[in-house]
Amino acid sequence: MADVATLREQVRGMVITSDDAGYEDARRVYNAMHDRRPEVIVQAVDEADVIAAVRFARDNDLELAVRGGAHGVPGYGTWDGGLVIDLGRIRYALVDPDGRTVRMGGGAVLGDMDHATYVYGLATPAGFNSTTGIGGLTLGGGVGAYLSRKHGLTCDNLISADVVTADGERVTANAEQHDDLFWALRGGGGNFGIVTSFQYQLHELNDFYGGPIFFELDAAPDVMRTFSEYTTEAPRELGGFVGFHIAPPLPFIPEDRHGDTLFALVASWSGPGERAEEVLKPLREAGPIVAEHVGPVPYPGLQSAFDALLPPGLQHYWKSDFVAELTDEAVGVHMEHGPKVPSLHTAVHLYLVDGAVHDLGADETAFPVRDARFLLNIAGIWPDPADNDANIGWVREYYEAVHPHSGYEGGYTNFMAEDDQDRTQASYGPNYDRLQEIKARWDPDNVFHLNQNIPPD
């Protein structure tokens, strides 16, 4: 057992071991499947704590796990043995409204950013669940269902990052300083260092309109085709996603349809409010509607609309693919597996990753896929561990059947489970060699290996 008394002297946040009262809570992450027992958990409150913890882990040969918002599906934010650096108390959001930037603490969540920026009529693309961490999301790429077609990925909007490196030093990475590291941080995941502060570009966002439409299940092929065809030409302000869902018990869905499997389209429009109805009309007409809740909405409202359906403590097993084109064959496979969605929380989503995401070349950031139309996520989510085999089996079978129709070997590392480690190289495709070289420069001993790992060259 390492001598944590020394570490406690160096750290202002909490240092927690299994002898401490808060240990049971402190070791937990969002995906309850990962019931792990770290040796030491450091709840850092500032950069100095992070530096002390990295040096302590190295000096004591402890495996190092890093946690931002704790949403990572493979649960690398907790580990058996080893030292966990939990950044969840470094949660500030400092907006510069004139310069249109925001600086976020490395452990902040998406809701912190949306709340702080929206008051100035500003936003940047990020995921649609407000409790997800900006850390893991940005470093893996960051697909914003509602704003990425207009403004790119979250990592495309990253201007600068303060990083604690594997040897416990602090550097700033941006276009002017350490540009190799800056390139790698934009998609390469947690492989290169611990980011204590992220600075993002913001964009004007005044009107916002959107919400979910639930169609009859039989209409799924028509809705998928309409969504795919319409969005090839539609303005970039149109966002959203489609997918299979069991209808949750929400007030706008007729009670007798709660629990039915339906096909959902969550649509959004960030252009001028007076055009919203006209732009969304063809999507609304794609099939018979069971229920809908679409209208003007504050952006942070839609960003957190599904939080209640996704509380911490559920079991998660996900698989993902980028999709070049939604072919008729692929739609056929979706119709075979999607309607069997096994749990209320489970989601099968197709997100749009075109528009501004395509404005950068594959080699401009570590995130390499700049020509896909969609990102598919088969997100198995259920409450009872007794149902693990059935749910994991359904995700795997679905993925095996649909993957050959994707057009890409790799997937989105942020939507991958632990058993997808062997897809890491394929997921980084042409950028993998350069990532390995940069890894060798910044983390030659692979200190940061509890992630979708890129070992040093």
- Which residues contribute to the site for ligand FAD (CB under 6 A)? 30, 66-73, 76-77, 87, 106, 127-129, 132-133, 135-137, 139-140, 142-143, 145, 189-190, 194-195, 310, 414, 451
Nearer to ligand FAD, 62 or 66 (CB): 66
**337, containing H or E segment:** helix 328-337
Q: Rounded to 10 degrees, what is the CA torsion of 90, 96, 100, 101?
A: -20
* Rounded least distance, CB 86 to ligand FAD, Å: 8
* Rounded least distance, CB 449 to ligand FAD, Å: 9
Provide the angle, in degrees to the nearest 10, between the axes of the packed helices 328-337 and 388-402: 170
* Rounded least distance, CB 71 to ligand FAD, Å: 3
Nearer to ligand FAD, 166 or 290 (CB): 166
CB 196 within 8 A of CB 203: no
Distance CA 229, CA 226 (A): 5
Three-class secondary structure assignment of 174-223: ECCCCHHHHHHHCCCHHHCCEEEEEEEECEECCCCEEEEEEECHHHHHHH
Nearer to ligand FAD, 253 or 447 (CB): 447
Q: Name the token pair of 141.
A: 């790429």
Distance CA 92, CA 43 (A): 15
* Rounded least distance, CB 64 to ligand FAD, Å: 10
* Rounded least distance, CB 62 to ligand FAD, Å: 16
For 382, other C-beta atoms within 10 Å of its C-beta total 21
Nearer to ligand FAD, 28 or 219 (CB): 28
Nearer to ligand FAD, 184 or 219 (CB): 184
Place of tokens 């040897």: 167
* Rounded least distance, CB 288 to ligand FAD, Å: 28
Nearer to ligand FAD, 142 or 338 (CB): 142
Helices (H) and strands (E) in the chain, counts: 14, 19
Nearer to ligand FAD, 64 or 276 (CB): 64
* Rounded least distance, CB 241 to ligand FAD, Å: 9
Nearer to ligand FAD, 287 or 432 (CB): 432
Characterize 25-55 residue by residue with b for buried, 16 or more Cβ atoms within 10 angstroms of its Cβ, and e for exposed.
Answer: ebbbbbbebbebebbbbbbbbebbbbbbbbb
* Rounded least distance, CB 41 to ligand FAD, Å: 13
